[in-house]
A and B are shown apart, each in its own frame.
Chain A
Amino acid sequence: MLHTLSLVDLASRLRDRSLSAVELSQHFLDRIDNASKLNAFITVDPEQVRTQAESADQILSTGDSHVLCGIPLAHKDIFCTEGMKTSCGSKMLDNFISPYDATVVKRLANAGMVTLGKTNMDEFAMGSSNETSWYGPVLNPWSEQRVPGGSSGGSAAAVGARLAPIATGTDTGGSIRQPAAFCGLTGLKPSYGRVSRYGMIAFASSLDQAGPIARSCEDAALLLDAMSGHDPLDSTSVNNDPSTASAQLANTISGLRIGLPKQFFEDGIDPEISRAVDVAIETLKSLGATTVEVDLPNSAAGIPCYYVIAPAEASSNLSRFDGVRYGYRCEDPVDLADLYERSRSEGFGAEVKRRIMIGAYALSSGYYDAYYLKAQRIRRLISNDFDTAFEACDVILGPTTPTTAFGLGAKTDDPISMYLNDIFTNTVNLAGLPGLSLPVGFDNAGLPIGMQLIGKFMQESILLNVGHQYQNVTDWHKAIPQEYQA
């Protein structure tokens, strides 16, 4: 039952050599093989896994290794991996092999972690259901008729079904937290600038952040500590001391002030979710926390604001895919314009094209002030709202999503209802704050419910501390879908 052991337990077995990294990674490769119907992975390279695991075993045998040495992980297919395909879920990059590693990939490899493979995702991270992937949808391990969430759906399904002990994800408007909520996992979007974006294929550069999708706050803290820190290759990476979240998990939360924004508890939320979150609040109170109502008056403007800023940045970022330097090129272009237009039209899927068009429109001459500049002003109001709220509290709490995992195909023809999935998560990206989703129960259909904690800038250690104290007295995070227990 190696897949049920925490990272700390696995690390201790690897270090006392009662378990080898090769054995451990083979265990997960076998599980990935048996669960191929979930479509959680785009690329798995068993030979490379073995080479990395053997080298981890060698380092472990010296007795001088990083705590994560020999632990396998899965990377979202948005992180560049030298020598292994990086598709970003798109036909555009189906043939793309990066000439370099993302900083996140390099840091975790240097720690001795073993890359099991690259996980499926919404195309260019644009989606909330993993249904926009060129490689097909991912199934939710809790119910195969449901989506795993997105865009980091493959990472969430992989960890949910225990095909990997932990995975990386990225979050631009909720893409770590929403799939973590839908799959019963702990997912952290760190503060903007906490983790390097170098080698992480850009969607909306002022919003994108990488973070862990894990089974517990304890596991997530270990990965965050290893993947974060200043990177000279990313000029937006914050020049702070590296995260030390693991060392702060045991702190008491007695006296912690939890802010409850009334906007997060209004109508429109599944009553089963409200109930589960209410019970979790009581649990935190029993650990010594207090609650206070706070106001985030501009929350409702978050989605409209986000759907200007994110597509505007995306349309700029995705202009690099031109069929000339790398990626997909159409057959027999007649001239340069034909080469650009057909390569992009054939290489990008429908949702990506839609977002490029929204962005191009919002940025076009005559509309810039009405859309982009207006959205930037609202962005400041949203950020100011958080600053004011944090004068009265240490963390903000609410549901992660308005519903639990929805059915496959249920929202594919209705972009607006898909976008509204991120109603509680997107403002956190706009303000650049850290957000954590953790499981707090199940609905009547047996689907996991997620609760979100939002922290002050660079205070992810407090979120993980609160989450860890909660997980010390609850078992929701230990639940595994029946089919994947053994």
Chain B
Amino acid sequence: MSITTDDVFAIARLGRLRINDKDASHYAESLTDIMDLVAQMNTVDTNTIKPMAHPQDVNLPLREDKVTEKNCRDALLQIAPSAEKGLFLVPRVVE
């Protein structure tokens, strides 16, 4: 299968990435190669096989519903690119 530069722009948008024209053709080429490699999966008959999402086919453990984390708001805001009065700052979203 062939992935075009238009596909690359669409896929990049899904991943919230911005790809310039020069890189797009390079990515189109390598993604085409990789999806060709991935297509080798189709040589295996899996019709009756149950999907395996995880190496442990067990139920995840439950814990008591009580607060275990201490408040670490200040420590987390300290490493934010921009924060003020207990909030993360981003560009204006609503005019």
Contacts and interface: CB of A to CB of B under 8 A. Distances in A.
Interface in B43-74: 43-44, 46, 49-56, 60-61, 63, 72
The secondary-structure label for the interface of chain A is helix
Residue of A335, A360, A373 ringed by the most chain B CB atoms within 10 A: A360
Contact of B51 (A322, A377, A419): A377
B19 A353 contact: yes
A354 B31 contact: yes
Contact of B91 (A335, A362, A376): A335
Interface in B1-38: 3, 7-8, 11-12, 14-19, 23, 27, 30-31, 33-35, 37-38
Interface residues of A, number: 71
A472 interface: no
A301 B51 contact: no
A374 interface: yes
A334 B38 contact: no
Contacts of B88: 324-325
A337 B12 CA distance: 13
A360 B56 contact: no
Given A325-B80, A338-B91, A381-B46, A308 B16 contact: no
A339 B17 contact: no
Contacts of A360: 11, 14-15
A376 B81 CA distance: 38
Residue of B7, B44, B63 ringed by the most chain A CB atoms within 10 A: B44
A230 to B, nearest CB: 10
A356 interface: yes
A99 B75 contact: yes
B70 to A, nearest CB: 11
Contact of B52 (A236, A328, A379): A379
A187 interface: no
Contacts of A341: 16-18
A419 B17 contact: no
Nearest to A356: B15
Given A100-B72, A431-B55, 13 more contacts: A193-B55, A298-B44, A303-B37, A304-B37, A304-B41, A324-B88, A334-B91, A335-B93, A341-B17, A344-B16, A354-B30, A356-B17, A378-B49
8 A-B pairs with the lowest CB-CB distances in the bound complex, closest first: A432-B55, A376-B51, A329-B81, A377-B46, A380-B52, A99-B75, A360-B14, A377-B49
24 contacts: A99-B75, A192-B55, A206-B53, A236-B60, A301-B41, A324-B81, A324-B90, A325-B88, A326-B76, A329-B81, A344-B15, A344-B16, A354-B27, A354-B31, A357-B17, A360-B14, A360-B15, A361-B7, A362-B38, A376-B52, A378-B49, A415-B33, A416-B33, A416-B34
